[in-house]
Amino acid sequence: MYRAGDEFDQREWLEELDAVADELGLDAEARSTAKDLFLSTAESPEERSKPPALAASVYAGALIAGDQRSQTAVADAAGVSRLVVQERWKQILERAGFDAPTW
């Protein structure tokens, strides 16, 4: 869970998340889930950790919402490597209280 102020504090990153979601053509449910995941796990003050968290949140949010995109497509839209998405998305789910799939 995140604080109400987190949305304000992370507004620039949430705008970036919206831009990535626009590029991928994600539906409203996937966007909302990605936003919730990002805000729930964005406690790190280091700016360099934000792009990987954003990309992994978008991938996981789309997966949960049934609007899945490939790791490569998400990575390209977010400007990170596919490996970053591959390594982080399960962690993002687990930190948010979900059970990550084992496949």
For the stretch 47-72, pLDDT in tens is: 678 999 999 999 999 999 999 999 99
Does 86 score more than 90 pLDDT?
A: yes
Domain CATH for 43? 1.10.472.10
Question: Taking Cα atoms as reference points, which of 82, 47, 46 lies closest to residue 58?
Answer: 82
pTM of the model: 0.91
Q: What is the count of structural domains for the chain?
A: 1
Phi-psi region of 73 (alpha: psi -120 to 50; beta: other; left: phi over 0): alpha
Residue 86 falls within a domain, yes or no? yes
